[in-house]
């Protein structure tokens, strides 16, 4: 599906094609800290992702895999929008913070990753494939 999204204040907007059948939630500590919540939703193998309005700020963070990921966020309101490969790397994997999509209400996860650090009080999500860490 084609989807578009925006940060809270509207200074930065994005668009992408995503596969709504392969969405997931991530329970890793980084996602909990960055989102300020119990988990973060992403996935969908984004294609043709681009920022269509404004310019995000970037923060380079080292992922669990040892790879550097560029975290894109709005420099005005602080909303996290996506993580991207670092500049100059051919790894094209983009992860969109799907809660910023205008279509978020219709999105449903099919997988959960990093369940090892899932909040203890969270009920089981029905119908998801669960992985203790990043799936191999
Ligand atoms: Zn903003
Ligand atoms: Zn995560």
Give the model confidence (pLDDT) of 5-37 as tens digits. 999 999 999 999 999 999 999 999 999 999 999
Q: Which residues, at least 6 apart from 106, have a Cβ–Cβ distance to it below 8 Å?
A: 20
Residues less than 5 Å from ion ligand 2, measured at CB: 26, 28, 31
Closest CA to 10 of 42, 39, 51: 51
Ligand 2 centroid distance, CA of 13 (Å): 22
- What does the pLDDT read at residue 135? 86
Judged against a pLDDT cut of 80, whether residue 136 lies above it is answered with no
Encode pLDDT of 90-134 as tens digits: 667 899 999 999 999 999 999 999 999 999 999 999 999 999 998
Ligand 1 centroid distance, CA of 63 (Å): 24
39 alpha carbon, closest ligand:
2
115 alpha carbon, closest ligand:
2
Ligand 2 centroid distance, CA of 32 (Å): 7
Closest CA to 38 of 104, 132, 128, 114: 114
43 alpha carbon, closest ligand:
2
- What does the pLDDT read at residue 20? 96
Encode pLDDT of 29-74 as tens digits: 999 999 999 999 999 999 999 999 999 999 999 876 788 889 999 9
Ligand 2 centroid distance, CA of 61 (Å): 12
Phi, psi dihedrals of residue 61, rounded to the nearest 5°: -125, 145
- What does the pLDDT read at residue 70? 93
Ligand 2 centroid distance, CA of 30 (Å): 6
CA–CA–CA angle 93, 99, 105 (5° rounding): 125
d(CA 106, CA 126): 16
Greater confidence (88 vs 16) lies with: 16
Judged against a pLDDT cut of 80, whether residue 88 lies above it is answered with no
Q: Which residues, at least 6 apart from 123, have a Cβ–Cβ distance to it below 8 Å?
A: none
- What does the pLDDT read at residue 91? 67
């Amino acid at each position: 599906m084609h989807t578009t999204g925006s940060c809270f204040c509207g200074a930065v907007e994005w668009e992408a094609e995503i596969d709504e059948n392969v969405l997931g939630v991530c329970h890793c500590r980084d996602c909990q800290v960055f989102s300020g919540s119990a988990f973060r939703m992403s996935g969908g193998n984004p294609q043709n992702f681009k920022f269509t309005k404004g310019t995000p700020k970037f923060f380079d963070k080292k992922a669990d895999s040892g790879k550097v990921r560029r975290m894109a966020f709005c420099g005005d309101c602080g909303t996290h929008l996506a993580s991207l490969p670092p500049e100059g790397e051919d790894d094209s994997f983009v992860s969109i913070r799907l809660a910023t999509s205008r279509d978020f209400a219709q999105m449903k996860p099919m997988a959960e990753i990093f369940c090892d650090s899932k909040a203890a009080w969270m009920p089981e999500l029905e119908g998801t494939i669960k992985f203790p860490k990043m799936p191999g």
